[in-house]
Homo-oligomer: A and B are copies of this chain.
Amino acid sequence: MTRLLLADDHQLFVDGLKSLLVDEDDLCVVGEASNGHEVLEFCDREPVDIVIMDINMPVMDGIQASRELSKKHPSVKVLGLSMYNDRDFISDVLKAGALGYVLKNTGKESLLKAIATLRSGESYLSDEVSKTLLSGFIRHMPYEQAAEKLSDRESEVLECIASGLTTHEIADKLFISKNTVETHRKNLLYKLRARNTAELITNAYKQRLIQ
C-alpha cells in the first residue's frame, strides 16, 4: 500500500485527484496540503511514501518544498506536477530533488504509471517531458551554464527595474550610488542575455525570476 500526500493549492484539483485515485486499491491518500509548508509539516507528523506536488503554489512553492523535503525526509519521494513543459523549469524541479515530473495535461494512466515507477525507486518522466529536457540539453549547452543564478542584490535591482523605477530612483531607494545600479543592470543584461530593458523583463518573467 502506497501512502500518498496530495499537494496543490487548487482544492478542486485535489478533490479530483482523490476521487481518481480512490479506485486504486494499492494506493491510499493519507493527506492533503495546499502549500509547501503544509507538506513539510505533514511529513514531520506522518509517514508518507510519495508526495504528488504541484509546483506552483503560494507561501512555499513545490521546488522549495522538494528541496527541504529531500534534506529532512529523504525517504519521501516527490512527483512534481505542473502545467509547464519548460526545460529550465523542469530542470529546476528535478534539481530540487523530485524523482518524477508529470504534466497536468496528461491522462490518468500516466499518473498511475509515474506513481508505480517512483514506488519502485526509479524516476519517472513522461515522454513529452523527457523530450523537452533532452532537446534543451542538446541545443542550449553553452546557453545553459551561463544561466547563472542572480545574487540577492541583483534580484532586488531586477524587481525595482520591473516596477518601473529608473536607475537613479533605484539608487535612492537602495541607498547606493547610481553607478552601482548601472553595474547591476549591466550584469543583469548579461546574465539574462538581454539586449535591453524590455527583453530583460521578458526573460525574467520567462525564467520566473520575478512574480
Taking a contact as CB atoms under 8 Å apart, the answer to whether B107 and A164 are in contact is no
Q: How far is the CA of A72 from the CA of B10 in the complex (A)?
A: 32
Chain B, Cβ-Cβ closest to A15: B108
Taking a contact as CB atoms under 8 Å apart, the answer to whether B199 and A202 are in contact is no
Number of copies: 2
Given A12-B106, A15-B20, answer yes or no on A205-B211 (Cβ-Cβ < 8 Å): yes
Q: How far is the CA of A207 from the CA of B203 in the complex (A)?
A: 17
Taking a contact as CB atoms under 8 Å apart, the answer to whether A162 and B202 are in contact is yes
Contact of A16 among B20, B103, B105 (CB under 8 A): B20
**Total interface residues on A, using CB and 8 Å?**
42
Interface string of A40-73 (1 = CB under 8 A from B): 0000000000000000000000000000000000
Interface string of A5-33 (1 = CB under 8 A from B): 00001111101110110110000000000
Q: How far is the CA of A210 from the CA of B195 in the complex (A)?
A: 19
Can you sample 22 A-B contacts with CB below 8 Å? A10-B103, A11-B104, A11-B106, A11-B107, A11-B108, A12-B103, A12-B107, A12-B108, A13-B13, A15-B16, A15-B20, A16-B16, A19-B20, A19-B22, A34-B105, A162-B202, A163-B198, A163-B199, A164-B196, A196-B197, A198-B200, A198-B201
